[in-house]
A and B are shown apart, each in its own frame.
Chain A
Amino acid sequence: MLISFLLLPILTAILLLFIKDKKTATTTAIVGAMATLLLAVVATTTKVEAFDIAWLPSLHSRFVLQVDGLAKILILLTAISFPAILIATAKNEYKQQNKFLSLLLFTQAGLMGVFLAGDALLFYFFWELALIPVYFLCSIWGGDKRIAITFKFFIYTFLGSLFMLVGILYLNAHTADHSFSIQSFLHANLTGHQQVTAFALFFIAFAIKMPIFPLHTWQPDVYEQSPTAVTMVMSAVMVKMGLYGILRWLLPLFPIAFMAHTNVVVILSVFGILYASFIAIRQDDIKRLIAYSSIAHIGLMNAAIFSNTSIAIQGALLQLFSHGINVIGLWIVADVIEQQTGTRSMQQMGGLAKKQPILAILLVGFAFANIALPLTNAFVGEFLMFTGLFQFNPWIAAFAGVSVILAAIYTLNMVQKVAYGEISEKINTMHAPNKGAQAVLIILLIIVFVTGVYPQPLFTLTADTLQQLLVK
């Protein structure tokens, strides 16, 4: 069953290459993504057998796909994101639409592979494969400065993953059976010094991917220049690859090195949170604002994981999912406005609430979730993370807590500029968003509030992962 998470997107993507008609292509992509979503719902609610076949016998690498709570929550997020993104942006016109959608679904397959892989070499494989379609998506369909910026992004992440490859090679040499399975990695007896080496090699890759300060410089430019559908995929799902990597590989494999680096990483993350928040306040471009806000949120999750308290990690596990939902909602609203008015500058917006009240209400809903107000899903996660950070170090928690205030400043500022005030010239040209986008936004907002009021299903889903991490 797990193999279908790879096959379904890949087959749909291949099929798309042969569909020239734009409408049919979009419909096919949506149907494919919905099927994957259905599969994901089944997989998360039932018990699923691991998929395990021989792959490279002489290297002792096996093709292993397996799920636990951590993987399930991210698979669910990936599976929800893609149909949401595809439906919401279905009206957007691209040149060579079928290739665009095809590459998007290849990305989905890569992401699914990353979250499912139970073998380090396979993990690395998918880690790279998720990147390559994105490189083409941004470089072909992006904004004016796309080529140089995407290339910077590619080299950055490629270099990071090469370090991880060396780390995998290093660990592989230290396992008893020279295999790549996560179990034998867990049983590799590493000295403290060896752990630190391997930790550093892995961490560079994850830190670039998330990204945490000071390795974040690629991100705002790429988010701004990419086509919005790709930006959504990157900020909702791809950045989670870094956090996933930390939870799946770093924390269990190198406990000593992990403990040794908690302070450094937490301080860097908190610094990054404040830094990104302050920059976000100064932004006029709505896409850049969401990009910086996203850096701040990811930084908080990273700090929470590295505080290594159970409650903070529980919060981070929850927030992995919630942040994805919220940020997609914000991007969709921004995209609807940009598609209709042709501007991203918030100065030229205003009066959305009078002109398009429904869209404005949806925007406010996601804005609340972005600030993590009670009743929204982000509140649960962030509250747990702050509690954990407080246990770790009250001062750190205090500094990180400032970010909540800053988030309120930039988010509400955005709402104010976009939704209230006189109806601006640009906003006046707007008409109602298409049915698809509106429906997606409403469903996402329902998820925001339902998981905000009743997060228990998500806790249950991730309980086993938390247990394992704590035992280690």
Chain B
Amino acid sequence: MNAIIVSALLGVIMMFCSWGIKSQKTQQSIALIGMFLLLLCNLAQLSGWFVINYDTKGMLAFTRFGLYVNTLFFAITFIYIWLNGEEIAKFANQAADFYALFFFILCGASILTSFDNLLMLFIGIEILSIPLYILTGSDKKNLFSNEASLKYFLMGSFSTGILLLGITFIYGATGSFHLAAPIIKPSTGLPQEQMILSAGLLLVFAAMNFKVSAAPFHFWTPDVYDGAPTVFTSFMATIVKAAGFIAFITIFNSQAKALGHSWELILTFVIIATLLVGNIVAVFQRSVKRMLAYSSIAQAGFMLFALYGKSTYANEGIILYAVVYSLATIGVFGVLIKMKENSFEAFNGLAKTHPLVAFVTTIFLFSLAGIPLTGGFFAKYYMLNALYAAGAGLWLIILAILFAAVSVFYYFKLVQAMYFAAGEPTINEVPKKYQYALLAIALLLLILGVFPTVLFNYLYF
């Protein structure tokens, strides 16, 4: 409860702070202080030290898992704002407006980590999505940004509509919005109710797939990620996606049983389609930004493994994956922001002119590819383990690693450009401070690559 209230309040404060405070630097500092406060408030609830009690009539349920995920989201957003403050300021007269939107997004994310009622899910998703439409279109003079925003808005609205329809069906079948509503098992219940429930769940499934950009509902992703200002793509592809996944898992951990065995079949289909589309299409991209968009689809394919069945591996794995993937993606986009253009050729010879930038980019890419010593390796390992623990066939795991090998192909294309290709990189000046910030993120990934379990210590105690 703390996080939801405080983030909403901070959003409002942030919105009005541009009246009195004109300096972009100060606005960034206020946002960072706000984010830190938010983090503290959430930790206060996590440790039970101070909790705002409000009877939500069972609409929200605060679990340790959800609160812990909140903490991580806030921490990553803190890093994100700290790194990208200057860049954000470029897109508006007042960056404070954008910071306000971030707080609203986090409010939506905190609802998504704690909802116990399908209506709250809907509200959470809406609060999360609407600021995103604005952020996507924030480069007002750029046609691609406008197009992306419109596209995202239209398709996003449709998917929300489908989500709502699904929720209605579920309500019709069970008479409740509660996640833990008595589930009609395939064997019992009236056939008609069973059918309506299944239909509802499938509609919710489709809508959630849209939100996390899983195939075959991924078509918006490349255009939107490409059109949106890089700095906001970075946020969209990380925190927002991770929040979507947490919600996705929460719904289907409790409701998947209603679909019986067909659940595994549907999910397997989506997993394979996502891995296939993301990885194969990414290989052929000429623009790094579009490659990263497809890679984010491919990564979503791996995160979907956590849905296959409940297990500690799935729970811990999704946390690790979300954190590692977010850090690495924020890092890569952080480098991409400094490039003058988005092509692979722009990175040619970066290792000679900017050795540190090239080095950290390599760490980020290794992590995305899942090479040992970076967090990405354990993230992938946990996911594969979750899949196996949930009883999936060995063939699916082997298929997944084949696609992981394909992903090496396009991530390493960038490494090759940086280290082995001759040429001058087309890069803007990278301040020393910025480089050290990137280095800090890379070090975090390396630490998680050797001791991934540090992340779970606070999950249980």
Interface presence of A249 (CB below 8 A): no
In the complex, the chain B residue whose C-beta lies closest to that of A63 is B450
3 cross-chain pairs, A with B, having the tightest CB-CB distances, nearest first: A162-B401, A128-B372, A159-B405
In the complex, the chain B residue whose C-beta lies closest to that of A57 is B453
Give the complex CA separation of A147 and B415 in angstroms. 11
**Chain A 43-71 interface mask (CB, 8 Å, partner B; 1/0):** 00000000000011111000000000000
Instruction: Return 24 A-B CB contacts under 8 Å, by A number.
Output: A56-B451, A56-B453, A58-B453, A58-B456, A124-B372, A125-B373, A128-B373, A128-B377, A129-B372, A136-B419, A139-B419, A146-B420, A147-B420, A158-B408, A162-B401, A162-B405, A166-B384, A166-B394, A166-B397, A166-B401, A169-B384, A169-B388, A169-B397, A197-B394
Question: B161 to nearest A CB, angstroms?
Answer: 41
Interface on A for B, CB 8 Å cutoff?
55-59, 124-125, 128-129, 132, 136, 139-140, 146-147, 151, 154-155, 158-159, 162-163, 165-166, 169-170, 172-173, 197
Given contacts A151-B416, A169-B385, 20 further A-B contacts (CB under 8 A): A56-B452, A57-B453, A58-B453, A128-B371, A129-B372, A132-B371, A139-B419, A140-B419, A147-B420, A151-B412, A154-B408, A158-B405, A159-B402, A163-B398, A163-B401, A166-B397, A166-B398, A169-B397, A173-B385, A197-B394
Question: B390 to nearest A CB, angstroms?
Answer: 11
In the complex, the chain B residue whose C-beta lies closest to that of A168 is B381
Instruction: For A139, give its contact among B316, B408, B416 (CB under 8 Å).
Output: B416
Contacts of B389 in A (CB 8 A): 173
A140 engages B372 (CB within 8 Å): no
Give the complex CA separation of A249 and B445 in angstroms. 30
A154 engages B419 (CB within 8 Å): no
Contacts of A158 in B (CB 8 A): 405, 408
Give the complex CA separation of A58 and B419 in angstroms. 37
Question: A79 to nearest B CB, angstroms?
Answer: 23
B385 engages A162 (CB within 8 Å): no
Give the complex CA separation of A139 and B413 in angstroms. 12
Most chain A CB within 10 A, of B398, B420, B452, is at: B420
Which applies to chain B's interface (DSSP): helix, strand, loop or mixed?
A: helix
Contacts of B419 in A (CB 8 A): 136, 139-140
Contacts of B36 in A (CB 8 A): none
Question: A381 to nearest B CB, angstroms?
Answer: 33
B372 engages A58 (CB within 8 Å): no
Interface presence of B170 (CB below 8 A): no
In the complex, the chain B residue whose C-beta lies closest to that of A125 is B372
Contacts of B372 in A (CB 8 A): 124-125, 128-129
Interface presence of B409 (CB below 8 A): yes
B401 engages A165 (CB within 8 Å): yes
A154 engages B420 (CB within 8 Å): no
A-B contact count, CB below 8 Å?
67
Contacts of A59 in B (CB 8 A): 453
Question: B451 to nearest A CB, angstroms?
Answer: 7
Contacts of A55 in B (CB 8 A): 451
Contacts of B420 in A (CB 8 A): 139-140, 146-147
Interface presence of B404 (CB below 8 A): yes
Give the complex CA separation of A159 and B398 in angstroms. 10
Contacts of A155 in B (CB 8 A): 405, 408-409
A169 engages B381 (CB within 8 Å): yes
B384 engages A58 (CB within 8 Å): no
**Chain B 318-352 interface mask (CB, 8 Å, partner A; 1/0):** 00000000000000000000000000000000000
Contacts of B405 in A (CB 8 A): 155, 158-159, 162
Contacts of A163 in B (CB 8 A): 398, 401
Give the complex CA separation of A132 and B359 in angstroms. 13
B394 engages A170 (CB within 8 Å): yes
Question: B435 to nearest A CB, angstroms?
Answer: 17
B388 engages A170 (CB within 8 Å): yes
Question: A43 to nearest B CB, angstroms?
Answer: 24
Contacts of B409 in A (CB 8 A): 155
Contacts of B402 in A (CB 8 A): 159, 162
Within 8 A of A (CB), among B396-433: 397-398, 401-402, 404-405, 408-409, 412, 416, 419-420
B412 engages A129 (CB within 8 Å): no
In the complex, the chain B residue whose C-beta lies closest to that of A162 is B401
Question: A370 to nearest B CB, angstroms?
Answer: 34
Give the complex CA separation of A124 and B451 in angstroms. 15
Contacts of B452 in A (CB 8 A): 56
Give the complex CA separation of A69 and B456 in angstroms. 39
Contacts of B398 in A (CB 8 A): 163, 166
Give the complex CA separation of A131 and B371 in angstroms. 11
In the complex, the chain A residue whose C-beta lies closest to that of B380 is A165
In the complex, the chain B residue whose C-beta lies closest to that of A173 is B388
